[in-house]
Structure 1
Amino acid sequence: MALCLANSLIACGDFVPYDQLVRYKWWYRYGYMSSTGHCFDIGAATKNAIQEFEKRQRKFAKAWNISYEEMDNTLSSELLQAFNVNCSKEGVAGNGALMRLAPVPLFFYRIPEKAVEYSGESGRITHGDDKAYDACRYYGALIVAALHGVLKDELISDKFYEDHKQWFGKKPLHTDILKIAQGSYKKSGGYNEGIRGKGYVVSALEAALWAFWSDNNSFEEGALKAVNLGDDTDTTAAIYGQLAGAVYGYQDLPNKWCKRVYAKNFISHVSNWIVCEGIINDNEEHFAHFGKDDPNEDYDHPEHSVTQNCKSYTFDTDYGHKLRIIDTPGRSSDHPKMSCEEGWSISKKSWDRLLEYTHKSLSPYFIRQECNKVEYFRLKTMGMIRPMLESMRNILRNVSNALKGRILSVDDAWQ
């Protein structure tokens, strides 16, 4: 399910719960993103939520006169707003919401407030209890902080929540989650002192943080501690691994374990896409702005009148780089021309690098099971190549929109 969530973020370039549910449904029905080719070990809460989602799709399709077969495609913004994506009953507080969380804070970590809120929402669509929502928010905040370089001692500090309270907006943590944030998991006796890796989200969060707190800065030791608590062992370890992985990094994972991961090259590529496609900041959307005033733009440029109605056109080029074309009618200087030339040069390099990557570096992904259904094969294939194809689409969209905006060349952009 974490891979389903990651692919949704990459494909949509944003947080779209409806698309996430569609992919969870594909996993449940067709084995989409499953290492075995079929869904296995699905929790009752997740299964019930997906089945409720399917019922709502059928009802929605009938009400809006849409073919049910088309309901898995991207809906318009109007239809997305009309569809209720919270498919869980109230009081559902299983650990399934927490075990798939990591792609959300990874994608949005540059905007901590948004990362924390979306972490909670990612869980709410299948687990409707406030404890599940807040467990995801708190754990998402820890992962975000780790990605910002916060040291482990601060992450496990009893004051972490208070020190980062602005990330949580006006919604305080549920008291059960707040107790954990204040250090209830710090029990040297572990299992003998009541730490349990159960299916209840509060217990699961406490168990994962206990393993992280007591792992002696070793991913291997922490993962084994999480598993050896018993009960829901794989989920406890999966929750532990999200935070521990963000803190210790890929290079510190046990190599003997990494070698045995199924489709590890594919997972590595998806991880890279998450970083490259992640939202940059709250005022600058990931995809290009066209014909909008740039809220970050200072209109008081040399040779430009501050009263002019400037327009800023922003293009993605490379990680950490933006091509920004400022439309100031009737004015020009050498500086914007130089910026355009440099920006287009970076864009060309990005194109060349993408083509070289797909030609030389993209690793094949083998399907071990025979595909006895065309639909199954289609979903498998799309799951493998869609992140790459949709990133290529994003680049093409930027270029296409630039052409529609009559920016046909560097000189035209300068004019």
Structure 2
Amino acid sequence: MGQNIWKDGIIGLMVGDALGVPVEFSSREDREHDPVIGMRAYGTHNQPVGTWSDDSSMTLATLDSIKQKGKIDYKDIMDKFTEWCLYADYTPFQEVFDIGVATSRAIIQYGKGTDPIDCGGKTEWDNGNGSLMRILPVCLYLYNRQKMICTSENESIYLIHNVSALTHAHLRSQIACGIYYFMVKSVLSREGDLLAKLQWGIDAACQYYRSDLNNYKELGYFSRLFDLNAFRQLSKDQIKSSGYVVDTLEAVTWCLITTTSYKEAVLQAVNLGDDTDTVGAITGSLAGLYYGYNEIPEQWIKTLQRLEWIEQLLCYD
């Protein structure tokens, strides 16, 4: 596996997460009066500076499973999610302080013996961003795998949808993860500026999903992203930063295409308020992949709790 893209994307994600943790659930008005300009301590969850949340914990658990198994193993991923939830593995201080209701419910279902891919909620109300926030390692694994053995998009999307379904099994959440996968691929493989790369990814996702009429209704929820030149003209007031998966993907994309650096993108994301850690994390993942690890402020990286352990987890033979 290519180490650089893992480092770019996952450190990018974790820094964005840690920036957002102290101000999670704060209003946009609060952020306008007191904007985040760097790493903070305490705040919403009363955690030390550089503390990361469930977004990073579940991302690291997924990464660790892929690293150990060399493949996507649904049961092993759920085992590691359970170790995180019950025993605080993959956390900064052996404490779980932020876990979504849908994720918690899915882990409980798994503990009762439910098959891993049947654990996630399937209703209209099960479309939080809890699978989108942790899907990056799967996307990077499939990107590398596709380069090596030319696997089909059908196989990749099948795996992504199933990994989403571990906690979020509604088609809308699965499509959000699929769109993100195509965005990751385009950032890593296409030429052009960030808007052009993301537009290519969204176009590829639309082409893929439109091949099945069953996807049309759900794909329509993402229609504001279809023309990024128009989307970037929207004002901040027209962007929501809630935990709803469509709002999150829109907010992330808007932050990326209205800024010109990693630092600017993640600060824009966090200062939207509301679900600051997740919007910051997902923005940071794509910004990290595009701008590269060296463009992430060094002091922010050094502030991350358990940095040495994180770096070891990111090392591949």
TM-score (norm 2): 0.71
1:15-35: CA deviation from partner (whole Å, max 9, x where unpaired) = 111111111011000001111
Aligned to 1:129: 170
How many residue pairs get matched? 246
Corresponding position: 1:43 with 2:100:
yes
- The residue matched to 2:65 in structure 1 has which SS? helix
Counting only pairs closer than 5 Å after superposition, residues 174-193 of structure 1 correspond to structure 2 as 174-183=219-228, 186-192=231-237
Give the Cα separation in 2 of the matches to 1:164 and 1:123: 16
- The residue matched to 2:117 in structure 1 has which SS? coil
**CA shift in 2, pair 1:150/1:42, >3 Å:** farther
Equivalent residues of 1:17, 1:125 under 8 A apart: yes
Equivalent residues of 1:93, 1:131 under 8 A apart: yes
Give the Cα separation in 1 of the matches to 2:278 and 2:175: 18
Aligned to 1:147: 188
1:334-367: CA deviation from partner (whole Å, max 9, x where unpaired) = xxxxxxxxxxxxxxxxxxxxxxxxxxxxxxxxxx
Give the Cα separation in 1 of the matches to 2:74 and 2:88: 19
Give the Cα separation in 1 of the matches to 2:265 and 2:242: 17
Equivalent residues of 1:196, 1:230 under 8 A apart: no
Counting only pairs closer than 5 Å after superposition, residues 16-415 of structure 1 correspond to structure 2 as 16-56=73-113, 83-91=115-123, 92-110=126-144, 111=146, 113=153, 114-151=155-192, 152-157=194-199, 160-163=201-204, 170-171=211-212, 172=215, 174-183=219-228, 186-192=231-237, 194-216=238-260, 218-273=261-316
**CA shift in 2, pair 1:209/1:115, >3 Å:** same
> Deviation at 1:150?
3.9
Q: Give the superposed CA RMSD.
A: 2.3
Give the Cα separation in 1 of the matches to 2:298 and 2:74: 35
Give the Cα separation in 2 of the matches to 1:96 and 1:185: 28
Aligned to 1:326: none
1:265-296: CA deviation from partner (whole Å, max 9, x where unpaired) = 322232233xx6xxxxxxxxxxxxxxxxxxxx
Task: Give the aligned residue type for 1:99.
Answer: M
**CA shift in 2, pair 1:124/1:95, >3 Å:** same
Equivalent residues of 1:115, 1:144 under 8 A apart: no
1:194-232: CA deviation from partner (whole Å, max 9, x where unpaired) = 20110100001100111111112x111110110011111
**CA shift in 2, pair 1:169/1:202, >3 Å:** closer
1:98-117: CA deviation from partner (whole Å, max 9, x where unpaired) = 11111111112131724444
**CA shift in 2, pair 1:185/1:237, >3 Å:** farther
**CA shift in 2, pair 1:238/1:100, >3 Å:** same
1:164-208: CA deviation from partner (whole Å, max 9, x where unpaired) = 66766944562112442443982445432x201101000011001
- The residue matched to 1:38 in structure 2 has which SS? coil
Equivalent residues of 2:129, 2:243 under 8 A apart: yes
**CA shift in 2, pair 1:166/1:15, >3 Å:** farther
> Deviation at 1:243?
1.0
Aligned to 1:78: none
More strand by share: 1
Give the Cα separation in 1 of the matches to 2:77 and 2:163: 9
- The residue matched to 2:131 in structure 1 has which SS? helix
Structure of greater relative contact order (alpha carbons < 8 Å, 6+ residues apart): 2
Equivalent residues of 2:78, 2:107 under 8 A apart: yes
1:8-59: CA deviation from partner (whole Å, max 9, x where unpaired) = 11111111111111110110000011112121210111011111111126xx
**CA shift in 2, pair 1:168/1:250, >3 Å:** farther
Equivalent residues of 2:184, 2:201 under 8 A apart: no
Equivalent residues of 2:117, 2:163 under 8 A apart: no
> Deviation at 1:264?
1.9
Equivalent residues of 2:191, 2:197 under 8 A apart: yes
Task: Give the aligned residue type for 2:118.
Answer: N
Give the Cα separation in 2 of the matches to 1:229 and 1:253: 20
**CA shift in 2, pair 1:85/1:121, >3 Å:** closer
Equivalent residues of 2:61, 2:90 under 8 A apart: yes
**CA shift in 2, pair 1:272/1:166, >3 Å:** farther
More helix by share: 2
Unaligned 5+ segments in structure 1 are: 58-82, 277-415
**CA shift in 2, pair 1:185/1:104, >3 Å:** farther
**CA shift in 2, pair 1:183/1:176, >3 Å:** farther
**CA shift in 2, pair 1:150/1:30, >3 Å:** farther
Give the greater-gyration-radius structure (CA).
1
Equivalent residues of 1:120, 1:135 under 8 A apart: no
Task: Give the aligned residue type for 2:302.
Answer: K
